[in-house]
Amino acid sequence: MVLIDQNHQKITEFMKSIFNFKIKFKEKYLVEKLLNNSANGVIYSGFRKSDSMPVVVKQIPKSRISKFENVCGRNIPSEIYFHMTASGAPGVVKALEFFERRTSWVLIMEKPTNSIDLFEFSSQFGALSEGAAKIIFRQVVESCIHLKSRGVFHRDLKDENILLDIKTLETKIIDFGCATDHEDREYTELTGTPEFCCPEYYTVSQYKPESSTIWTLGTFLYVLLFGDIPYENKTDIIRGTRTKYDESKLSPTARDLLQSLLSMRPSKRPTLEGVLNSEWLNGC
């Protein structure tokens, strides 16, 4: 709790330093290209005028924002607050600064080079070897541990929200639109991507941060190893039966880890540190 409180204080001080409403977005940045237009916002590529540094610009309409955090006496969108809180953690895309405009909020982020999201990567290349999957999966698990230490519960970890540098295999987590405080309690708000949500999300409408994150990581690992999600819908997740691919082709340690991550009982799933120390991740 002390570490989380210290992180909150640091992010508050950081936000005070950049919360300058006299500086306008257009004075500092130039937008070049539309990258994505979704219900959660519009994403562009662009650059910073002072040094031509490439950036990603996310414009979030005020009409679509329902949750805020109070910082320095002002309410800012929860997505921006939690991304700023997570920024600087290994494996997280850096949030650089933000602006409030008349009808929207604008978040400026770093633009990693040679990167595509893992959904696109899997669509192009399909299942990975266990060796390649280990390199990617380990980084994401480590990033989840760092997010937990900063008091951030992402709640929408999936292949689309993880960027991969196709040259170095370095990963970076994006999109904190569903994020909230990471606390050891039951959550009841249903949010995130349905195919990646844990069974208790649907059966009792309650879930805990770590055990639900572990399930999501299991779904993500399945995507890495088979190029596809293990369950197609809510009914399949509740049943917990996986028949889409032949899991016997995996190594015994990979099967054991996958089975533990996708355990139907939250209490049977490992901790994040347990995953990091698993035999599969640490074996040859």
What pLDDT sits at residue 226? Answer: 96
Please provide the average confidence, as pLDDT, over all residues in the chain.
Answer: 91
The SS3 assignment for 181 reads strand
Q: For residue 259, what are its two tokens?
A: 């089975």
156 counts as catalytic: yes
What tens digit of pLDDT does each residue of 226-263 get? Answer: 999 999 999 999 999 898 899 999 999 999 999 999 99
Walk me through the domains of the chain, giving residue ranges and CATH numbers.
7-110 (3.30.200.20), 115-282 (1.10.510.10)
AA letter at 247: E
Q: What pTM was estimated for this model as a whole?
A: 0.90
What pLDDT sits at residue 1? Answer: 47
What tens digit of pLDDT does each residue of 72-94 get? Answer: 788 999 999 999 999 989 999 99
Judge contact between 86 and 151, C-beta under 8 A. Answer: no
Q: Give strand pairing partners of 181.
A: 152
Give the mean pLDDT of 109-114: 94
Q: Give strand pairing partners of 42.
A: 37, 59
What tens digit of pLDDT does each residue of 39-55 get? Answer: 678 999 999 999 999 99
What pLDDT sits at residue 2? Answer: 46
Task: Give the chain's count of helices (H) and strands (E).
Answer: 11, 12
Judge contact between 191 and 156, C-beta under 8 A. Answer: yes
Q: Is the pLDDT at 191 greater than 70, yes or no?
A: yes
Give the mean pLDDT of 144-158: 96
Q: How far apart are CA 153 and CA 225, in angstroms?
A: 25
Judge contact between 79 and 177, C-beta under 8 A. Answer: yes
- With cut-offs at 50, 70 and 90, classify the pLDDT of residue 12: low
What pLDDT sits at residue 101? Answer: 86
Q: How far apart are CA 154 and CA 213, in angstroms?
A: 8
What pLDDT sits at residue 15? Answer: 57
- With cut-offs at 50, 70 and 90, classify the pLDDT of residue 116: very high
What pLDDT sits at residue 23? Answer: 62
- With cut-offs at 50, 70 and 90, classify the pLDDT of residue 71: confident
- With cut-offs at 50, 70 and 90, classify the pLDDT of residue 7: low
Among residues 5, 51, 117, 156, the one annotated as catalytic is 156
What pLDDT sits at residue 72? Answer: 76
Which residue, 114, 157, 119, 121, is CA-closest to 139? 157
